[in-house]
Amino acid sequence: MPNPATRRDHSGQIEMPTALPPYRPTAGLPVLDARPTRGASFHEVPVKAILNSPASTGMGFWSLNPYVGCEFGCTYCYARETHKWVMERAAGRNSGIPGSLSPWEAFEKQILVKTSAAAVLRRTLSPARLAGASLVIGTATDPYQPAERRFRLTREILEALLGWRGLALGLITKSPLILRDVKLLQDLAARHELSVNISLASVDARLLRRIEARSPAPHTRLRALKGLTDAGIHAGLLVAPVLPGITDSREALAALFQAGKAAGARYVVGSALRLGPAARTRFLPHLAHEFPDLTTRYGWRYGNRESPGKDYTEALSRRIRSLQQQYGFPMTERPSGARQRDPGARESPGMTERPSGARQRDPGARESPGMTERPSGARQRDPGARESPGMNTGMSGRRRLQGYERRDAIPESAEQWTLL
């Protein structure tokens, strides 16, 4: 029986939510702070483990998220279902935080704070277990969202990482607050292979406000990027997601590359929007409101898949490669001539990889026993994960779509984006 809260788009290809059921998540989490003017509250959540392994996420790197939820509330973010599920697991299903919020509202307004993150990291990080894979901070939250000003969890985590050498570390953020930690990042870069990704989907502030209502303005992110690169930190632009028919024109992407060049970016990389179940709940109704002419086209392009299709992603990759060549950027965010890392090296001579008596942790273990960042059996994908230019991101079994006169052409605007 169809869900009464959804309707089928007239293309017949996609379920469009028209209303969301009340979200009555759990209570029992200590309230650390509440900001009535912003409508946000912050709740302490205990964790026994802090690292997400590639085996548990399906990504090619380890990840770490000091918060669950994000005040920026970008409409395309996939992590709302993660927030809902973690909150239910953390506090039990039979009580509720005051108020009735939809899952996407709760994601933006009820932020879970992993206050013990740095201490848990010190106990459980085993560089040998990373086996040379990167550790990326901020794959399912923004580690420098406004909450970081008070709780300073990201800074504590970075300070903890000074205890090792030779790791490949990544940071993803939209926030200029990262400049607070420039000296700390310089110290980390002296010990590790560090890349800082400033996420920016468009330099058009008015357009960006329509899809990221509370995120920092483009010029503040570019100023942060320049501050990082001026300080000698390897940093660049992460253009993700690229929104089909909205930010994918060559002109729009070229403006990002030009702005990145002016800000001293060491690289510019990007990937197309992926629509998982959680992202659809928020993004598709918003798309229908802000860009109604694209609703049917997204239905055809995405259907019930996460990917916009192999033809689109490959064409987008060619466009990005072309712009990388035009503006003199490498095809990867990794530093050129990156040194060989010793995955087992600790900073302090004579110190063991793990404190004496620390429990061996399963590299595939979830975020904590009984509380993961992902429902069991669900495939997790990082919204900030970089797809290598040219990477095939099409999904098997997708419908063969028509609409391109040339296989390597991406429509230059929504008007030209004809999907049959």
Tens-digit pLDDT profile for the chain (420 aa)? 444 333 434 333 333 333 323 333 333 444 444 443 357 889 888 888 999 999 888 889 999 999 999 999 899 997 776 777 776 665 554 334 444 566 667 788 889 999 999 999 999 998 888 988 999 999 999 999 999 999 999 999 999 999 999 999 999 999 999 999 999 999 999 999 999 999 999 999 999 999 998 999 999 999 999 999 999 999 999 999 999 999 999 999 999 999 999 999 999 999 999 998 878 888 999 999 999 999 999 999 998 899 999 999 999 999 999 999 999 999 888 776 554 444 344 433 222 223 333 333 333 333 333 333 443 334 444 433 433 333 333 333 333 223 323 333 444 443 344 322
Rounded Cα distance between 417 and 295, Å, is 12
Rounded Cα distance between 97 and 31, Å, is 10
pLDDT value at residue 279: 83
Rounded Cα distance between 105 and 82, Å, is 13
> Which domains, and CATH codes, for the chain?
49-67+115-327 (3.80.30.30)
Q: Identify the three-state secondary structure at position 51.
A: strand
Rounded Cα distance between 281 and 19, Å, is 10
pLDDT value at residue 336: 60
Crossing angle of the two packed helices 295-302 and 277-290, in degrees rounded to 10: 150
**Cα–Cα distances in Å, from 307 out to 215, 248, 273, 373, 399?**
25, 15, 7, 22, 11
306: tokens are 């996460």
